[in-house]
Structure 1
């Protein structure tokens, strides 16, 4: 039983790490789109910037939403945290606001070491 508990916790931690990584990727692509590609299109007359970065961000956003759904469906998440994970994806720099929440949830899954003299199977 203890081995299964450790495996479950490790799988959840891995999923949370992946979500953090994808969240950063989605946030960075949004920043590149807003701060680089859109100004290049409108100020420099270079529409290819948004034609390239826009779809990249779109795919990153869809992957992020998919990761959020798959992560929250496998655990006990409060509605407020689920809404937060989704809403901040629409806010520039919002992805970085989730790092602390995801890190806390990951840290809560750390398995405490067995007391001295006790073996885990």
Structure 2
């Protein structure tokens, strides 16, 4: 396990991974299921339900992102990637893997 000095960062990275996965999942559900149901099947309630859920997941992601990067040690490129990852399909999943690698490296330092 991470040392006491790294435990807060490790825990924050865990929350970031969860936020990334949640944001990525809700974006795919919105774009892959709800929007087609609205426009192809004429079922607009799908976006009325999934849209706000994704909106909350998106806000949660950025709230966690601000907390995560405020700890320092992130390059501008990494921060930009993490911001853009929330806006492209599958980006949240790639970001989750990237954060997992950083978490693993943190464990290697302990």
Structure with greater contact order relative to length (CA < 8 Å, sep ≥ 6): 2
TM-score (norm 1): 0.84
Where does structure 1 lack aligned partners over 5 or more consecutive residues? 114-121
Structural RMSD (CA): 1.6
1:66 is the counterpart of 2:44 = no
Gaps of 5+ in 2: none
Could you tell me whether the CA contact under 8 Å between 1:9 and 1:111 is conserved in 2? no
The 4+ residue runs of structure 1 with deviation greater than 6 A are none
For residue 104 of structure 1, report the CA deviation from its aligned partner.
Answer: 1.8
CA distance in 1, matches of 2:81, 2:46: 30
Equivalent residues, number: 109
SS in 2 for 1:109: helix
Report if aligned partners of 1:41, 1:50 keep a CA contact under 8 Å in 2: yes
Residue 116 of structure 1: aligned partner: none
Rounded to whole Å, the distance in 2 between the matches of 1:106 and 1:42 is 41
TM-score (norm 2): 0.92
In the alignment, the residues of structure 2 paired with residue 70 and residue 41 of structure 1 have an alpha-carbon distance, to the nearest angstrom, of 35
Superimposed CA distance per residue, residues 72-102 of structure 1 (whole angstroms, 9 cap, x where no aligned partner): 1012111100000000111011111112321
